[in-house]
Amino acid sequence: MRGLLSTISHSGPLAEAISQSRTLVAPSPLYPFALALRAKERPLIVVTASSRSAEDLVSELRTLHECVYEFPAWETLPHERLSPRSDTVAKRIQTLYEIENWRSAPNQVNPIIVTPVRGFIHCFISNLGKAPLIQLQANQEISLTALVEHLASLSYTRTDLVERRGDFAVRGGIVDIFLPLSAHPIRVDFFGDEIEQLSYFDVSDQRTIQSISEKLSIYPCRELLLTDAVRTRAYELVEKYPAAKEVLDRISQGIVTEGMESLIPLLTDSQESIIKRALPSTEIIFLDSERIRSRATDLLSTNKEFLAASWSNASVGAQSPLHDGDGTYLSWDELQAEMAAANLPLQNFNPFGSDLE
């Protein structure tokens, strides 16, 4: 794949078209190569029409480029009483950390961030991915108590036996943790206030598989963390939002609750889109701009319809939405305004036969 990329990069007319054209009309199998070439000049945020196409593109790009990160969308709508999966959350936060790492220490390889349009228009908490990141490594000094408290603060669930991502368990001087982005859970063996050994273990029989020498990053399992500020605000809002009283009560007590992310607009001061995190000189690239715009419009419509239907169902005894505020999706006009304000150029890659050809 890299050999083919080298061949394309030395093709004058094609390389020039990829580099200078605002709209590239080409067969979709060419997109990964074109993106890898563009990334030689500047960081990219690449927007796809669906989550599946984003995942496929990430896999292809990683055979061509060294710094490729995925910013997936939630599987849920903003108003749903459901929480996104912990691995989705961790992957989003990991990408935000990588952006900030590059910003503070730029290197010669520009990053490519791939996100579906659903992730592109969805605003998240403004301080997401900015808190200090804890990493674990053998021979590191950290107390078992401090690690347990940190895991709880990141919304990991304490259990008797680790079985699912986001679980952790304590047995004597051992802490078992199933990190959201890990294929296997890890076992942290303590000797006093020092990590004596890190190892992977098998969920089925709880036996150690192999030791770990590299550092492991501990990413949160939730985007809404129950800080003192969030708990205090939840307590203050209990009477104002009766439909959300039960959830707000639990949050105010520091209890992680399914679907609490739908209250992010109420419990946090501000939200922002991935556009606000873009690195200097970043270029936005839409893969099939017509489908992306259509999908963005559909998502806004679906979110409004879901909210209206929820209130209608509530009138006949069903659960009502937790609040009646706006969702966290940006409209198409708002997207354009944010990109213009950030001075981010937009390039479109469209397939043959599209209306924009």
Nearest residue to 171 via CA among 190, 153, 143, 156: 190
Count CB neighbours of 161 within 10 A.
10
Cβ within 8 Å of residue 166, ≥6 positions away: 86, 155, 156, 157, 178, 180, 221
CA gap 142, 167 in Å, rounded:
20
pLDDT at 18: 66
Domains, the chain, ordered by start = 2-128+257-350 (3.40.50.11180), 135-217 (3.30.2060.10)
CA gap 231, 245 in Å, rounded:
13
> How much is the average pLDDT of 282-295?
95
- Do 125 and 266 form a contact (C-beta atoms < 8 A)? no
> How much is the average pLDDT of 272-292?
95
Q: Confirm whether pTM is higher than 0.85.
A: yes
CA gap 231, 119 in Å, rounded:
27
Can you spell out the DSSP letters for 239-300?
TT-GGGHHHHHHHHTT---TTGGGGHHHHSS-EE-GGGGPPTT-EEEEESHHHHHHHHHHHH
> How much is the average pLDDT of 240-254?
90
Distances in whole angstroms, Cα of residue 94 to Cα of each of 173, 210, 315: 29, 24, 41
Percent of the chain with pLDDT over 90: 74
Confidence class for position 4, pLDDT limits 50, 70, 90: low
Rg over CA atoms, the chain: 22
pLDDT at 107: 80
- For residue 283, the cross-strand partners are 44
What's the whole-number average pLDDT of the chain? 89
CA gap 319, 317 in Å, rounded:
7
**What SS3 class is residue 303?**
helix
- Do 64 and 33 form a contact (C-beta atoms < 8 A)? yes
CA gap 26, 4 in Å, rounded:
16
Nearest residue to 179 via CA among 188, 192, 191: 188
